[in-house]
Amino acid sequence: MRTTLCVCAVVAAVWLPSHAFGQSQSLADVAKTEEARRKTVKQPAKVYTNEDLKGSAGNSVPAPAAATPALTATPADGKPGDPAKPGDPAKPNPDDPKKDEKYWHDRIASTRETLARDKVLADALQSRINALTTDFVNTSDPAQRAVVEQNRKTALAELDRMNQDIAKQTKALTDIQEEARKASVPPGWLR
């Protein structure tokens, strides 16, 4: 019984891999099948290169096709008007800056620097307010307390203004990132 079991195991070990090998396709068969499939394809697929990805404004995506211009209103003579020409999309506006990597990097860097500077100033104002509050509590002379309180109120108003500026700069930073995302700007340009 034991010998029969060993013989069956050996036969199975030899037969299963050879059977699976016989059932699989050879590399030559796969190549012939692929060649036949390619011959049946009518039109080759578009191959995109780096030149295709460079847009007219330095974006990393092709520029969208220009839309058909809208017709103007019909004049009094009853003939349709000429197509409206708001501007030639092929010609960039000379007033618009070139939106390349330097443009995006400089724009976001200046916003970040302004935001960082405002945060440092807000922290300094908070330290000043804390010191003035301590001085107010520890001063017993009413005239000196009035001066300290006035300085403290001025510093509080300035801190409030700085916090509003920080909120504006944070929103501007988010807006720049969103604009860059919509323009398909590579993330590395915003670092």
Distance set, CA 116 to CA 33, 45, 81, 188 (Å): 62, 49, 54, 20
Which residue is associated with the tokens 């670092």? 191
pTM over 0.75: no
Torsion-angle region of 184 (φ positive above 0: left; ψ -120 to 50: alpha; else: beta)? left
pLDDT of residue 164: 95
Could you tell me how many helices (H) and strands (E) the chain has, helices first? Answer: 5, 0
Average pLDDT over residues 156-169: 94
Higher-confidence position of 48 and 103: 103
Higher-confidence position of 51 and 130: 130
pLDDT of residue 15: 61
pLDDT of residue 66: 44
The SS3 of residue 71 is strand
What token pair was written down for 185?
């700007």
Question: Does position 63 have pLDDT exceeding 60, yes or no?
Answer: no
pLDDT band at 50 (very low <50, low <70, confident <90, very high): confident
Average pLDDT over residues 13-36: 72
pLDDT band at 23 (very low <50, low <70, confident <90, very high): low
pLDDT of residue 72: 44
pLDDT of residue 143: 92
CA dist., res. 110 & res. 170, Å (int): 12
Rounded to the nearest integer, the mean pLDDT of the chain is 76
Q: Label residue 156 exposed, middle or buried (CB < 10 Å: 0-12, 13-18, 19+).
A: middle
Structure confidence by residue, pLDDT tens digits, 81-136: 444 444 444 455 555 567 888 888 888 999 999 999 999 999 999 999 999 999 99
